[in-house]
Structure 1
Amino acid sequence: MSEEVTAVGWDAIDQALLQVYGEQEPSHYGTMIPYSLGGEDPLDGISAYKSETPIPHWHFVTYGFSELYEKEFENKEYSGYGFELTFRLVRKENEEEPPAWALNLLQNMGRYVFNSGNVFRAGDYLDANGPICLDADTQLTALAFTHDPELAEIDTPNGKMEFIQMVGITEDELEAMQTWNTLGMLEAGIQQIPNYITDLTRASLLQNPQIAEAAEQGMEKEGSNTGFLFVSQLAWQVEKKGWFNKQSHVIQLGAKQADVISKLLRGRILKDRSLSLVGQNITIIFKAADQVGFHEDEQEITITLNRAAVDELSRKLVPQESQFELTSLAGVSFQILKTHIKNQEGEVVKTIG
């Protein structure tokens, strides 16, 4: 049986695109050597369509997060990881081929998912720690994920899947999404970025006073949807000091994330929701309670805070190297460490704190 006949998942994606673009022949970029056989690119292919509405742009669609051929995943309900990524990018006048950096970015997303097992869903976000297009003069340094406005969820012979659109966002937009929610922030800015088309030249949505106010009010009324935050510099240190070797516990955080953690504490704990900071070797969970304290359980630490403790901690969590204690939390101190932002070559390009 030929590969074309058995590519039932691929055909299902093509049928969905046929409903939008008719007989338009996209620019397609396949993979010569499969990732499973040592190839560099995890996705089997990426198609780029020319769209003219609402403005001229490239519409990229991936092939490879879902099951394109035979059914292999145990979960019968979903095809593969249950999604394919799309990406809409402003198309320059007379641009006949899509830019290579966008293809590389999508393949990088494939490496992230295939290597980590983490999947993307509408409402997610990802900090790129630098321009999403390397060496570009752009403020877009992170990515948000939402539903593609033209491609609905489909059923394939290998299970259902949805089209998740990737959107380039600025650093302050990322923080607003963390402290409020991604989809609310994107919806507030839909007039500025119709169809969530990425434009490397645009300024932050939060420069618009109405959008900034919507984000502020959203956080105050609804709190934050971010229940889990990965913190690269998170650590829990146990030290002994004094004549009686009394234990002292230190929570270490990076300066880059201190400010957003401060806001998340207010957006979660004050709304009676927990916040989990997840590091490489430790998870620290903050919970609302009348009594302030902490509980240590192997690789998980639980900190309980009341309103007064949240207020004090959020004031002291600033992006500056320091160490401090809370009035009501005995035996625990907080240490803010410098954060060094590095480029792909490992060189430090920015220091925070």
Structure 2
Amino acid sequence: MSQEESTVGWDAIDHALTTIYGEQEPAHFGTLLSYALGGNDPLDGISVYKSETPVPHWHFVTYGFSELYDKELEDPEESGYGFELTFRLTRNKDAMEPPAWALNLLQNMGRYVFNSGNVFRNGDYLDANGPICLGADTSLTALAFVSDPQLHSMDTPNGHVQFLQMVGITNDELEAMQTWNTLGVLASGEEQIPSYVTDLNRKSLLSDDSIADAIQSGMEHEGSNTGILFVDQLGWSTAKKGLFRKPVSTLTLGAKQAEIIGKLLQGRLLKEKELTLSGPDISIQLKPMEQTTFVSEGDSIKLFLDERTVKELSKLLLPKERTFKLASADWLSVQVLKTTITDDEGTIVKVIG
């Protein structure tokens, strides 16, 4: 960065933090070589503050998703991606340094956004496919994103910036967010997770019967807010007509996501809402209709399902490798494939199905 280059975006974040922490000097972890020049870390820096309320915790704040220096992007309304990430993690009172794994987690979020172009918004969630702290004995295997309770959205000379807080969540909490909505689930368990501080040792919110009942009630009354689900294993084959047999088209899914798709069919189609399954090579749009049929448009499929078919699929979609034909639509079969989960080095850590 040259001496002449503006730091208005960076200064705006500093000012927002000063209003909360006053003269507290944060632990700051900067990046020596920028991502644009071949460095490993996409974020310019991460500041970490000590907070005592509502429980002692580390408060991590990123610098780099927004435009920190001179305005470069054309959109005048938003600064960079329009947000910075925060993360609150329980802290032992005698701890002197924040844990390195949390810094790496935030940089990994940067790599995901910078490489994919996908951005986070209030109410989003992300499956980590394993403990959010590698090697830790924790049930937290996914992340939710919610507006930071202290750092409010702000307008800077480079555009608007929102502070999104990552929250560690369990797999069943993730499924509840998918089949209902993220903010509803988090609000139901707010007493258990004050200020949404992540605690690696906590149990699932759904282990509390009153919270589980509130979440179930929300699902039944409101349905699901998940309109698009990204599916790693997704396929469709349209059978060719034959002289002596009825053509059968096949929907292919991975075992890991089969069950949640079944639940989403109830929370979306039975509530007269559409659901889109987006895979690496194909998109399948599921729509409620009086008759089950489909329309193929290249790598896009529109699959219309009647109520009977939705209910049958919801019961049969389980995390188990198998192929079955539907009684309610004998021209449609479903193939559920095994799902293999690997770590960053490609080592198989789990097989589902």
Tell whether the structures are fold-level matches, with TM greater than 0.5: yes
| Residue 90 (structure 2) aligns with | 90
For residue 196 of structure 2, what is the aligned residue in structure 1?
196
Contact 2:312–2:328 (Cα < 8 Å) also in 1? no
Q: Which structure 1 residue ranges, 4+ long, deviate > 6 Å from structure 2?
A: none
Report which stretch shifted further, 328-337 or 65-74: 328-337
> Quick check: 1:275–1:287 contact (8 Å CA) kept in 2?
yes
Q: For residues 155-304 of structure 1, what are the structure 2 equivalents within 5 Å?
A: 155-240=155-240, 247-304=247-304
Q: Is the 8 A contact 1:294 1:304 kept in 2?
A: yes
| Residue 109 (structure 2) pairs with residue 103 (structure 1) | no
1:14 aligned partner: 14
Q: Cα–Cα, structure 1 residues 93 and 288, in superposed 2: closer, same or farther, change >3 Å?
A: same
In structure 2, distance between residues paired with 1:344 and 1:237: 31
TM norm structure 1:
0.97
How far the C-alpha of 1:108 sits from its partner, in A, is 0.3
Query: Deviations 1:221-269 (Å, cap 9, x if unpaired)?
Result: 0000000001101111345585568653211101111111011000000
Q: After the TM superposition, which of the residue ranges 248-257 and 7-16 deviates more from structure 2? A: 248-257
Aligned residue number for residue 132 of structure 1: 132
TM superposition shift of 1:178: 0.3
Q: For this pair of structures, how many residues does the alignment match?
A: 353
Instruction: Report the equivalent of 2:114.
Output: 114
Is the contact between residue 181 and residue 224 of structure 1 (CA under 8 Å) also seen in structure 2?
yes
Q: 2:248 touches 2:330 (CA, 8 Å); kept in 1?
A: no
Query: Alignment partner of 1:6: what SS?
Result: coil
Q: Using the alignment, how far apart are the partners of 1:246 and 1:344 within structure 2?
A: 44
The answer on whether the counterparts of 1:240 and 1:246 sit within 8 Å (CA) in structure 2 is no
Q: State the alpha-carbon separation in 2 of the partners of residues 221 and 188 from structure 1.
A: 15
How far 1:331 sits from its partner (Å)?
Answer: 2.8
Deviations 1:77-118 (A, max 9, x none): 010100000000001231111000000000000000000000
2:322 matched to which residue of 1? 322
Distance 1:314 1:3, change over 3 A: farther
CA separation in 1, counterparts of 2:5 and 2:284?
A: 50
Cα deviation 1:308-334 (Å, max 9, x = unaligned): 111111011011111112223343211
Three-state SS of the structure 2 residue aligned to 1:113 is helix
Give unpaired runs (5+ residues) of structure 1: none
- Match for 1:74: what amino acid? E
State the Cα deviation string for residues 36-75 of structure 1 (Å, max 9, x = none): 0000000000000000001100000000000000111111
Q: Using the alignment, how far apart are the partners of 2:286 and 2:61 within structure 1?
A: 39
CA distance in 1, matches of 2:179, 2:246: 37
* Secondary structure, counterpart of 1:41 in structure 2: coil
Say whether the 8 Å CA contact 1:45–1:63 is kept in structure 2.
yes
- The runs of 5 or more residues in structure 2 that have no matched partner are none
Using structure 2 for the length normalisation, give the TM-score.
0.97
